Amino acid sequence: MNTITENITVEDIVKKTNLKHIAIIMDGNRRWAKERNLPSAIGHKKGVDALKTTLKACDDFGIKYLTVYAFSTENWNRKQEEVDFLMNLLAHTIKNELQEMHENGVKINFIGDLSKLSPKLQEILFEAVEYTKDNTGVNLQIAFNYGARDEIVYAVKNICRKVKSGELNEGSITEETISDNIYTKNIPDPDLLIRTGGELRVSNYLLWQIAYSEIYITKQYWPEFNKKSLEDAIKDFYHRQRRFGV
C-alpha cells in the first residue's frame, strides 16, 4: 500500500478530498448464502447487518450522504416468495432499527416509486422519513423499487407538467432542471460508487447522478462488507484524479 495512504487517516482523506456522498450497489447476498448452503433469506438478513455497520462507519469517517440500492424495479421478477420476504424484511428492519438510527442522528429518505408498495409498507416508510427529517447526522437514502431509467421518465414527466402549466419555459431547461426533478434533488451527486460482489456493471442505478463518480469494485459479497472494506474503498478513492471531463 502507498505509504502516503498509510500515514493519513480516513477522516483526513474525507476532509481533504471533500468526499460527501457514497453510493453502494449492495450485491451478493444470495451468492454469499448459496456458497454456504444457506437459504437466500439468511444472506439478506446478513446484508442488513452489513448496512448497519457501513452506516456507522460513514458516521465515524465523516461521510454525510450514503445511498444504497436495496430493491430495483427489475427485482419484481424474482420468485414471489423472495419478493414477499424482502418487503417484510424492509418493514421489520425499519420498525426495529428506527429508534436507534434516530438517536444516532440518521436522516432517512427513500428514493424510487413507492406507490407500487403496499399501503402498510408505505405508511411505515413515510413515518420513518417524518420521524427523522430534522436529524443532522448521516443522510441515508434507500433506493427501493428504484430504477434509474424509471427515475428519468419520472423527471421528464415532471418537467412536461411544469412546461404545460407555464411554471417552466421550455427554452430554460438545463441540466440543473433535470437534477431538480429527480428523486435525489437537494442531494449532491455521489463522489464514489461502490459495488460489492465483483460484477462490472451499474445495473440501472443512479445513471444521471454518477456521471462523474469514481467507481470501486470489490469481490467481497455484501454480507462480508465492513468498516475495513469501506476504509479500503476510501483510500483507493484518495488516489484517483477527478478531472470531470477536463
Is 246 contained in some domain? no
- Which residues are CB-contacts of 47 (< 8 A; sequence separation ≥ 6)? 26, 29, 222, 223
Per-block average pLDDT, block size 10, for the chain (246 residues)? 70 98 98 98 98 98 98 96 97 97 98 97 98 98 98 97 96 96 96 98 98 98 98 97 79
Is 89 contained in some domain? yes
Provide the 10 A C-beta neighbour count for residue 88. Answer: 12
Is 242 contained in some domain? no
- Annotated active-site positions, please? 27, 75
Strands 65-72 and 21-25 turn out to be parallel
145 by DSSP, 3-state: which? strand
Is 189 contained in some domain? yes
Is 243 contained in some domain? no
Q: What residues make up the domain containing 232?
A: 3-237
- pLDDT at position 243: 81
pTM: 0.95
User: Which among 179, 192, 204 is positioned nearest to 229, based on CA atoms?
Assistant: 192
CATH number at residue 229: 3.40.1180.10
Is 97 contained in some domain? yes
Cβ burial 136-150 (10 Å sphere, 16+ → b, else e): ebbbbbbbbbbbbeb
CA distance 114 to 237: 33
Is 149 contained in some domain? yes
- pLDDT at position 242: 82
Domain count across the chain: 1
Is 111 contained in some domain? yes
Q: Which cell numbers hold the place of 175?
A: 441540466
Strands 192-195 and 21-25 turn out to be parallel
129 by DSSP, 3-state: which? helix
- pLDDT at position 178: 97
Sheet of 65-72: strands edge to edge? Answer: 107-111, 139-146, 65-72, 21-25, 192-195, 214-217
Angle between helices 227-238 and 40-61 (to 10 degrees): 50
